[in-house]
Amino acid sequence: MPTHDIIRTRQARVSSEGYAFQAHVKDYLNQLLEEGHHQIRVLNEDEVFSDTHLQEMFLIPVRGFKKVWGDVDLVVKNLVTNHPIALISCKLSLHGRFSETLFYSMVYKAKIPDLRVLFATPDKGAQASAQWRTEWGSVSRPTKDRFLAETYLDGVYIDNDYLRRIWGFEGNTAIGGKVRPISQLVPNIIEWNQI
């Protein structure tokens, strides 16, 4: 049975890996947006919380007169209008956290109707297997999570190159429907910004 220290060490490592992937996604998207001279930027949670306009949009009213901060990993914002275009939930895998993304998708879309809610992942794979196996299934044989993403999210963006580079896992997530390569995210953001 794992000790408390082993569990805490593992949680710290997973958290650190998650923040590294989130920073990677932010930097990758901002670099492409800046190169294209688009008036759009991707902000992390701290930057969103520091922006009083965005902060108010992403605080959720709860019982009584309190407001809570939801699952806000990255927010894509139009620099001219200061309006959010998309919320990007960054997770290494679906293990135990995907339902949180789906819940906040419903909450934030009700509060900000034109907001796109997205999921970015390297698809670290099914954790129970010794060999890498996608958590998304395929277009013809989707997993439950793929069905849920197709229904409640505006897109799932896969970065299998990150998967190979960081962990050395070989594999390719089946692309199709709302499951897309991360290279398609900037063109989608630009398109949504024009609507």
3-state SS assignment for residue 149: helix
Mean of pLDDT values over 117-136? 86
Mean pLDDT of 92-119: 92
Which tens digits make up the pLDDT trace of 30-48?
999 999 999 999 999 999 9
Average pLDDT over residues 91-116: 91
- How confident is the model at residue 10, as a pLDDT? 58
CA gap 36, 73 in Å, rounded:
23
- Confidence (pLDDT) at 195: 74
Q: How far apart are alpha carbons 51 and 54 in whole angstroms?
A: 5
* CATH code, domain carrying 142: 3.40.91.80
Are the CB atoms for 40 and 79 separated by under 8 Å?
Answer: yes
Q: How many domains does the chain have?
A: 1
The pLDDT of 1-25, averaged and rounded, is 76
What are the pLDDT digits (tens) for 66-100?
888 888 999 999 999 999 999 999 999 887 678 99
E-strand ranges in the chain read 40-44, 59-61, 67-69, 74-78, 84-90, 116-121, 155-158, 179-181
**Domain range enclosing 63:** 4-194
Cβ partners under 8 Å of residue 10, min gap 6: 2
Quick one: pLDDT at residue 11? 63
| pLDDT surpasses 70 at 8 | no
pTM for this model (two decimals): 0.91
In the chain, % of residues over pLDDT 70: 91
